[in-house]
């Protein structure tokens, strides 16, 4: 088990202001890029400046703002790409997704590995537990690492992920939150796909979608 806190760095840029995350093992300096998007150049520069070795791309789901930078990472580092199988169709439709928003992106490179629910993704001495949490998209996952949970667009500070996109379901999303996320414990730090970090306990107390006041 790791003896030091993982290195966590994030940044977001327009138009989607989506958080991309670099999470690195302090012992081995190996790192994973979670959800490479339009901020990819900033985060790859940060990796280089901090003498990290990127070994993995881990996507929480297949929406365009979370995968638009995967091709740049793959081209530079040729590291394996992880995704849940249920979002493969979304992932492979990156160019079509972009067109919905009047944008243009090239197709994403092929996925190398598909997550299994409950599997462990290792990066140096870090061990990420994969939790399949559909609802925002069919193949959404949360990646749990010690006190940290990288939850994609499942839940945000005072809000939840949208469910009006293809494959979304409000009922499924709320079930994922209640049955898969909340049991991880109140002290877990939530690193969401958009906005500031929060904790499970804080969202249980304050998030209107969980308190019934929404």
What pLDDT score was predicted for residue 212? 86
| Helix, strand, coil % over all residues of the chain, rounded to 5 | 30, 30, 45
What pLDDT score was predicted for residue 1? 44
Say if CB 82 and CB 59 are below 8 A apart. Answer: yes
pLDDT tens digits for range 160-196: 999 998 899 999 999 999 999 999 999 999 999 999 9
Say if CB 175 and CB 140 are below 8 A apart. Answer: no
What pLDDT score was predicted for residue 213? 74
Q: Where are the alpha helices (DSSP H) in the chain?
A: 40-49, 64-67, 70-77, 88-92, 94-100, 170-176, 200-206, 208-211
What pLDDT score was predicted for residue 133? 98
For the cut 90, the answer to whether the pLDDT of residue 3 exceeds it is no
pLDDT tens digits for range 83-125: 999 999 999 999 999 998 899 999 999 999 999 999 999 999 9
**What percent of the chain has pLDDT above 90?**
95
Cα gap 19→187, rounded to integer Å: 21
Fold of 7-211: Metallo-beta-lactamase; Chain A (3.60.15)
Can you spell out the DSSP letters for 121-173?
EEETTEEEEEEE--SSSTT-EEEEETTEEEEETSEETTEE----STT--HHHH
pLDDT tens digits for range 29-77: 999 999 999 999 999 999 999 999 999 999 999 999 999 999 999 999 9
What pLDDT score was predicted for residue 14? 93
pTM over 0.85, yes/no: yes
Domain boundaries, the chain: 7-211
């Amino acid at each position: 088990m790791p003896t030091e806190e993982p290195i966590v760095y994030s940044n977001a840029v327009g138009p989607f202001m989506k958080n991309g995350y670099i999470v690195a093992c302090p012992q081995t300096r190996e790192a994973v890029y979670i959800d490479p998007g339009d901020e990819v150049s900033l985060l790859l520069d940060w990796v280089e400046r901090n003498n990290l070795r990127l070994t993995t791309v881990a996507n929480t789901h297949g929406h365009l703002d979370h995968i638009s930078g995967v091709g740049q990472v793959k081209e530079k580092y040729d590291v394996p790409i992880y995704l849940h199988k249920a979002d493969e169709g979304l992932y492979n439709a990156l160019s079509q997704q972009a067109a919905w928003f009047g944008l243009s992106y090239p197709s994403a490179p092929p996925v190398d590995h598909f997550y299994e629910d409950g599997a462990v993704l290792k990066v140096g001495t870090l061990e990420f537990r994969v939790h399949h949490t559909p609802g925002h998209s069919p193949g959404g996952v949360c990646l749990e690492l010690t006190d940290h949970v990288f939850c994609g667009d499942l839940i945000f500070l005072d809000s939840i992920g949208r469910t009006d996109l293809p494959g979304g379901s409000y009922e499924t999303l709320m079930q994922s939150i209640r049955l898969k996320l909340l049991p991880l414990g109140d002290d877990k730090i939530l690193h969401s796909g958009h906005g500031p970090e929060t904790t499970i306990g804080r969202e249980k107390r304050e998030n209107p979608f969980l308190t019934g006041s929404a």
